[in-house]
Amino acid sequence: MKIIRADTYTIFIGEDAFEELALFFRNPDIRNEKIIVLVDENSKKYCLPLLKEKVELFNKATILEVKSGEENKNIQTCVELWHYLLKVKATRKSILVNLGGGVITDMGGFVASTFKRGMRFINIPTTLLAQVDSSIGGKVGVNLFEIKNQIGVFLNPEAVFIVPPFINTLPESERLSGLAEMLKHALIMDNNYWDSIKRKPFFEITEWESLIIRSIEIKNSVARNDPYEKSLRKRLNFGHTIGHAFESLALRKAGKPPLPHGVAVAMGIICEAYLSTKIRGLPEGARDSINDYILANFPYYPVAKKDHPRVIEIIKHDKKHTGEGINFTLIPSIGNALIDQYCDERLVLDSLVFYSSLS
């Protein structure tokens, strides 16, 4: 088992994380408190039974279920969760266990951080994306009017327990979504990590644990040094400014399925690698190698020219947008990132045109 020390908590990685989880709940300050497990229909079906099998205490826990999907990560769902916590007489000393993917860890952490001005919570991420990114770093929140992560706070969990075999319960599309965040970690911080990922196409990757550990090391090192995203943590936004806009655009299209977060980030990386070439001199060969890997492994999300102005409109609501222009993190070379790179709308539109040319 790998143990990584974060800012105020510990991350346990490996099948032995169940043993550490059992030890955590033997703590005298915790074992007699109410345990509430937040799940969606998927983590309830595929992961909760194993959790109950490995840690006896969870057979007595209160189970709180919400519907899966980014479209449910909103204030209304939070209101329902807060109401339920009142109903079961949860207190500030109770423990909320977030068992699920990024929606569960983001929203569960936000609900816990605001209920009675803060109750304790832990994360047991069950998707690859949540294991390598959203469960780590203490950013919790929800969407507002289909705009990503507009309401939230910074608050660390008590601990994070990562069991890599949980990803074996996932459909291929969910594992692919997590791979996008791993690509981002490599592109902003570690050229050798990028080389190790791109060596194999997605469907040939079988040894996930070592990749998960490296991504967590990168995410944790950045978050520890800049917990409130004042400076260096902005490096983690690479691919996300335009990626989040694609994701929000898809949420606005009634009757259409949501765009998986990882696919949106992968497509955002293509656009922001283009901006990196234009503004910060990323070699075209490096940009093309990024595009080739993504397009060979991820489904392409088409964005019609008529939707380009809507993408710009959504980007202007991004938390990083200022009066100086649209704020990006860009890469001058693979493994290096520059924060606070401002682009005008014309160049961002050019990146969307370039992206569309790759379809």
135-153 b/e (C-beta count within 10 Å ≥ 16 → b):
bbbbbbbbbeebbbbeebe
Hey, where are the domains in the chain?
A: 2-169, 172-357
CA dist 261 and 78 (Å) reads: 20
Please report the pLDDT score of residue 208 as a whole number: 93
pTM of the shown model = 0.92
CATH for the stretch 172-357: 1.20.1090.10
Please report the pLDDT score of residue 147 as a whole number: 84
Q: What is the pLDDT of residues 135-155, one digit of tens each?
A: 999 999 999 987 888 999 999
Sign of the dihedral defined by the CA atoms of residues 311, 171, 161, 103, in that order: positive
CA dist 197 and 20 (Å) reads: 30
CA dist 227 and 214 (Å) reads: 19
Q: What is the pLDDT of residues 198-215, one digit of tens each?
A: 999 999 998 899 999 999
Residues in Cβ contact with 102 at an 8 Å cutoff, skipping those fewer than 6 apart: 125, 127, 129, 130, 133, 134, 135, 261
Please report the pLDDT score of residue 324 as a whole number: 65
**Helix/strand/coil (H, E, C) string of the chain?**
CEEEECCCCEEEECCCHHHHHHHHCCCCCCCCCCEEEEEEHHHHHHCHHHHHHHCHHHHHCEEEEECCCHHHCCHHHHHHHHHHHHHCCCCCCCEEEEEECHHHHHHHHHHHHHHHHCCEEEEEECCHHHHHHHCCCCEEEEEECCEEEEEEEECCCCEEEECHHHHHHCCHHHHHHHHHHHHHHHHHHCHHHHHHHHCCCHHHCCCHHHHHHHHHHHHHHHHHHCCCCCCHHHHHHCCHHHHHHHHHHHHHCCCCCCCCHHHHHHHHHHHHHHHHHHHHCCCHHHHHHHHHHHHHHCCCCCCCHHHHHHHHHHHCCCCCCECCEEEEEEEEECCEEEEEEEECHHHHHHHHHHHHHCC
Class of domain 2-169: alpha beta
Please report the pLDDT score of residue 198 as a whole number: 93
The low-confidence residues of the chain, meaning pLDDT below 70, are 254-255, 318-324
Please report the pLDDT score of residue 145 as a whole number: 85
